[in-house]
Structure 1
């Protein structure tokens, strides 16, 4: 297999120009010495030229068009066989054979460029595609410059190179640019420096920014240079002619003067005309040149005419070979076994870290650097090539004097000389990167193999036949063999039609055809019975494309989703259960869109309650059926629900016929169709309202006679109310707790799954750092890197949220024990904390009320025997009074006063001993409000005593609390207060109960 060498475009342009000059020189040499004794010199020169041309990667050619339009190839190098897969002789006999291989689209462009080149005699350049006789598709690049000979023929001397690999590796051109031996400047046509390579920075001792901003004439040049010639040189280069000249350069940092050779040429890069300057340090060459001049002065007079053309040819060949990547050489094996190098290009220094002259003087220096394990292989290859005169080709390792390990590859053709010595003309290139890439590919294959064998889901591969009409089983992984409902081994090599029953084959063939037609992954679900158990599977069919973008295989993955299907079934059953409750509950249920306010769902009870059919009711705005005096409640409802609050109110609704009804409204938030909505429970309390009016009248009539009975009745009503609230809270907490626990329990494994997926994604990114364009675009669209950073934080915040909900539910459960009649031992602090959680909404900061800080100072208490629900009610009543007092106090204070003295409630517990034989606990609840006047303290625990405005309080809270503590627990409840200092309520009860 021949090695394809990819080089910089400009290098090939220079090579093309030099080859044209070389051909011209050789032709002149042949003409001049056609009938002289110099014929031997000419033949040697021609042979040397042909040897170099045949060993240069690519094709060197001579193409001409006659005035009558006939075309021909007078010369084509042997590289034609490896690139076009046809021999030079065939091309010379039938020049059209090359043009027939060119893609039709590219052929038209190529023809146009040929015509323009023939008209204006400008350099011809083109990249195009061919299809070789074996069916291979290749990218080629050709460079050539036309000229007109004496016969009126238009002749192009040029080269063609295979740039297929370059198309893949263009991203590495910058590395090549920075790695070339010469310093390179790129200027615009005004002389401004556009870019430089690393060699330039090293040569002149500057950093990149300095290099761009400084001037060649003033900062990088010796003042002894002929600056007056620069304008003419610059005009010549801008006119399109290359210019090679010597110059005295100046090291920017040290000021040291050194000789350089500058080669200027005009180039077009990405549509922009630029000037490329190759600068080579020739200080050593200048010194050597001076010595050579002294030695050659005597010989020049005798051999000038005969050798001048050879000198010019050699100079150009040297430049040509020095700009070819790697090392070009001529190696000689004498008949007596002695080895030597007749020629070594400058690439020797870059590859071997040995000067070419050293290699010429001592060929063993190169062989001594060969890795000990490879030296025998290299020598054996040389022996085999010498014996058979077949092409020598070898790969081996070297270790340079600096310790660098490299992989090299050499290619050359041997020829036998008259003295029985064998000459190899060829090249050596550095293939270290290719070897590393090969190793990485092997590692990647091992990695993919481990995935193939290690994943727990089934994978099998289908070969696409008959342009996507039929498919053949070609491979499957161990998991597929284990989990498949049929024997996969028996299906290998068979088509789907051959391996499956007729009906099943038709179904699966159609699915696979859909994947080929659509060109992207297709998903479908399938169910099978395995061991009498119904299982569900998610099947993904993914197309694979070859280098010609044709789908040639399908990768089919099968994932067991039985558990997910069972969960979906359970969720469906729960959804049906909730729907049944929604449709049959005795209260009206409404769901509103919080953005538009419109009804999106209503149960039959709500429709009947308002006199509408479901189709009439759905889509109405609540203001249509809410009495105008209560429209403000809907706005309040929307605001509080969006803030995550619960809503309760009593209002008057209007039926379709205009009649009115009293309703009780309870609101909360819900998710409907994936969006936050408001859920409202509407209860018709018209009858209750009428009864309340009757009771109020009766109560007023019997107020004086039944005062004691009324007080007792009110206390019972309050207890029943708290009991109902407790039951309702417990029910709500229970209903919320189940889904919350389900969500909370699944978040931790979800986080683990996501972390595993992110690790897998990271591995894919490491293994495939350059994904296809479609995947790269999708990664950018979804902002994959942001998702990778944010998804774990998102799940953790969800986990924190569910933990918070569980705490609230626990508090609701603890507080819901208001109706517990059991007298038992409990943790007092747990009850206090639950009550504080219920009141959290009143304690936090609101628009017209600052935050109330709660300071807890709990002592180490034993379990206390009590009625826990009733004790919670007492704590709540006291806390509510403290909050109300602080809110009222803050309404009268300035912002400065509030900031200087923030509102606080201090809750402390302690263990006290009333008697030696009995322990008591004390609960102290104190605020820093205005305080309670002494005249009111004695009346605080009287029934119906209140200092609040009408409608703000019943006066039963502290009375009931006093009854619970004193009568039911055998304890004490009293208040300490000072005006301006606040109030403190103290609860004392025995630890072991009454």
Structure 2
């Protein structure tokens, strides 16, 4: 407060209107107010003339002039926006206008619908911003101007609807300060009651962001020292915690006592700052994108060309000059017809014309002998550049790809030949069991075409018996989990005959261990099964002892004759080393024969040994043995020859007795002969004793 002797009255209404007009007319935004009762303009600022290129009197004289200068196609939208403002209190729109000199501009128009307290008067206030060049800069420094004096309540009405805070602030020479006047928008922008701010200016300074506080006061001090206009942008933090950007502009007036009175406007530019930040971020992102695109283009190994519609080379990039038809320095400015062979040049021109006319990508392949000197395959992709008639062409050397495709087709041909010529039938399945393909062997079995099965579940193939379908589906589910499934199953041919097949499903994995394919295979083993059945019948009914032994010394399989002959159960014989039932005196010879079989070739070996039965008796066996080293198995047939051995032993005993009787008879005959031929008793006795001793083989 000034001392009583120095106090001044507030500026009179005309004085206030004068500085308000000065501020209003400094605004770049056009401001006007229309009385809705009379549809007449009651206020138009200088910026309207600058934006519309017409004198404000033109608007006073023709209240529809502002609408008439709008693009005809946009007038209805503007009328709708005005109607919306009358219903909701405010609305905004962007549209184009014609200036009197023929120039066009893009403006942003904000409508504010207000009324006096008694609703006797209603106004449409407008804020028009020229956004032809900087569309996002919506809130700028404003100064107002008033051409005629109005009453105090009209001044308040105008200041209330100005998009910002109008203020009069006094900075005393002793350092104190006070807001002489601050407009009602202080409540909306700063969340402060204007009356409270007039009573205590520190409420406004307490909102200044701590990081901006020092620079804020320095800017005011610098403007006060030079008496230049003050301009500054800073942040505030409102009581609700919202951070806002404010832009301030003011003129200072030095009083006779050295005090400074500032007349200014504060604008909320939060949206503008956000737009600027967004634009900067967009620019940075665009720069990064351009850098990435440049790096991407540099990294592309393909030839890049830009052609005119007529086929003239406008620009190009060639990472590998050997792929070009002519040297680099002979390309730009020349026509395709001058560089490429006639037929290829025409192919390029046709694709260029088609690309321009349809605006669609065209792809073409061709062969040419480039600078490198070897025939090469290329693929060219034609696309239009933006909305122009220039064509961008990417040319890639596909020689290796073509060679790979040729090799792949040859590999496919070989695979198909092997696949279809196999004796067993095969099917390629998706992991879920859907049939992709079956080979010719299966097709021949049913005299059908491959396409009849593609897309069917594997278990729905014809030939499966009803009772096996669920088992086949279960096998597919097991394979899709990574299991290898194999078993024997019956299969019904097209003629009704049954086949027994050795069936399997194998999963195929990719590098990531994911199952990508199932291979189902079936091999006809019907003949083998019949042979096995006959073999098993022979094996079962044979009276001979049949067995299969392993190189580990254990029986692997025996026929029932073993149980009948020795009294052991089959389990006992299969779980006991064979050598344990062999007679101790025969074990060495048996082991020797076994070792010879293990080391030898498939030669039949015959031998005999004795084996112990469960009752403790031994039986003589005559063996025929042959080994199969690759399978590490020994196949043997043994026959019980115990009766024959007993007969042989009895015969040998009888022969010995017969020989002994014959020897005795010969001895008696010799003694009788000696007696008949000699009369000397001593000689006869000596010779007889000698013969007896010789016969008895004793000394």
Q: Please state which structure has a larger fraction of its residues in helix.
A: 1
TM-score by length of 2: 0.50
Q: Which has the larger radius of gyration?
A: 2
TM-score by length of 1: 0.37
Whose relative contact order is higher, 1 or 2, with alpha carbons under 8 Å and at least 6 apart? 2
